[in-house]
Amino acid sequence: MAKLASGRVTQKSSELLDKFNSSLLFDKKLYAEDIKGSIAHASMLEAQGILIKSELEDIISGLNKIKNEIENEEFVFDIADEDIHMAIEKRLTQLIGMSGKKLHTARSRNDQVALDFRLYVQKNTLKIKHLLLELEAVLLKIAKEHTNTLLPGMTHLQHAQPINFAYHILAYMSMFKRDIQRLESSYERNDFSPIGCAALAGTVYEIDRDFTAKALGFKEPTVNCLDTVSDRDFALDILYNISVIMMHISRLSEELILWSSSEFSFISLSDSYSTSSSIMPQKKNPDVPELLRGKSGRSYGNLISLLTVLKGLPLAYNKDMQEDKEGVFDSVDTALISIEILKEALNTMSVNKENMQKACEIGHLSATDLADYLVKKCGMAFRDAYKITGAIVVEAEKMGIDLSQMPFDIIKALAPCVKEDILKYLDLKNSMNARLSKGATSIKSTNEQINYFQKWLQEYITK
Ligand code: ARG
pLDDT at 305: 98
Question: Looking at the predicted structure, is the pLDDT value of residue 71 above 90?
Answer: yes
CA of 110 to the centre of ligand 1 (A): 6
Please state, as a whole number, how many other Cβ atoms lie within 10 Å of the Cβ of residue 108.
Answer: 18
- Whose C-alpha lies nearest to ligand 1, atom 1? 83
Distance 113 CA to ligand 1 centre (A): 7
Mutate to test the pocket of ligand 1, among 110, 320, 328, 329 (most ligand atoms within 8 A of CB): 110
Catalytically annotated residue among 265, 277, 431, 442: 277
Measured in Å, residue 123 CA sits from the centre of ligand 1 at 21
* Minimum-distance ligand 1 atom for the alpha carbon of 84: 1
- pLDDT single digits (tens) 118-150: 999 999 999 999 999 999 999 999 999 999 999
The CA 130 to ligand 1 mean position distance, Å, reads 31
Q: Is 248 a catalytic residue?
A: no
Q: Please give the number of the atom of ligand 1 that sits closest to the Cα of 199.
A: 10
Q: What is the pLDDT of residues 169-202, one digit of tens each?
A: 999 999 999 999 999 999 999 999 999 999 999 9
Question: According to the model, what pLDDT value does residue 9 have?
Answer: 74
Please write the tens of the pLDDT for every residue from 111-122.
999 999 999 999
pLDDT digits (tens, 9 = 90+) for 281-340: 777 899 999 999 999 999 999 999 999 999 999 999 999 999 999 999 999 999 999 999
**Given the CA of residue 82, which atom of ligand 1 is nearest to it?**
1
221 and 213 Cβ atoms separated by less than 8 Å? yes
143: three-class secondary structure by DSSP: helix
With cut-offs at 50, 70 and 90, classify the pLDDT of residue 6: low
pLDDT at 2 over 60: no
**DSSP-derived pairing of the beta strands 220-221 and 150-155:** unpaired
Interval 286-301: pLDDT, tens: 999 999 999 999 999 9
- The residue whose CB lies within 8 Å of the most ligand 1 atoms, and thus the one to mutate among 30, 229, 322, 323, is 322
φ, ψ for residue 220 (rounded to 5)?
A: -160, 175
Q: What percent of the chain has pLDDT over 90?
A: 93
Pocket of ligand 1 (CB under 6 A): 23, 27, 83, 109-110, 113, 317, 319, 321-322
- Closest atom, ligand 1, to C-alpha of 117: 4
Contacts (Cβ under 8 Å, ≥6 apart) of 348:
269, 270, 272, 273
Cβ neighbors of 196 (< 8 A, separation 6 or more) are 41, 44, 106, 107, 111, 202, 203, 207, 209, 212, 221
Say which of 43, 156, 186, 299 is annotated catalytic.
Answer: 156
Dump pLDDT digits (tens) for 384-423. Answer: 999 999 999 999 999 999 999 999 999 999 999 999 999 9
Ligand 1 midpoint to CA 111 (Å): 9
The residues that bridge with 285 in the sheet, in sequence order, are 275
Q: What is the pLDDT of residues 230-248, one digit of tens each?
A: 999 999 999 999 999 999 9
Contacts 24+ apart (CB under 8 A), 35-39: 35/63, 35/64, 35/66, 35/67, 35/88, 36/119, 36/216, 37/112, 37/115, 37/116, 37/119, 37/195, 37/216, 38/63, 38/88, 38/103, 38/112, 39/63
Atom of ligand 1 nearest to the CA of 317: 10
236 CA to centre of ligand 1 in angstroms: 18
Name the pTM for this structure: 0.95
> Ligand 1 centre and the CA of 85: distance in Å?
9
Question: Atom 2 in ligand 1: which residue has the minimum CA distance?
Answer: 322
Tell me phi and psi for residue 448, to 5 degrees: -60, -40
Average pLDDT of the chain to the nearest whole number: 96
Which of 33, 81, 228, 317 gets mutated to test ligand 1 (max ligand atoms within 8 A of its CB)?
A: 317
pLDDT of residue 277: 72
CB 144 within 8 A of CB 166: yes
Residue 277 catalytic? yes
Is a pLDDT exceeding 70 seen at residue 1? no
Q: Quick one: what percent of the chain has pLDDT higher than 70?
A: 98
Q: Which atom of ligand 1 is nearest to the CA of 321?
A: 12
**Residue 244 half-sphere exposure toward CB, CA atoms < 13 A:** 18
Mean pLDDT of 250-268: 97
- 201-216 confidence digits (pLDDT tens): 999 999 999 999 999 9
For residue 28, the model assigns a pLDDT of: 98
Kindly report the protein residue whose alpha carbon is nearest to atom 7 of ligand 1: 109
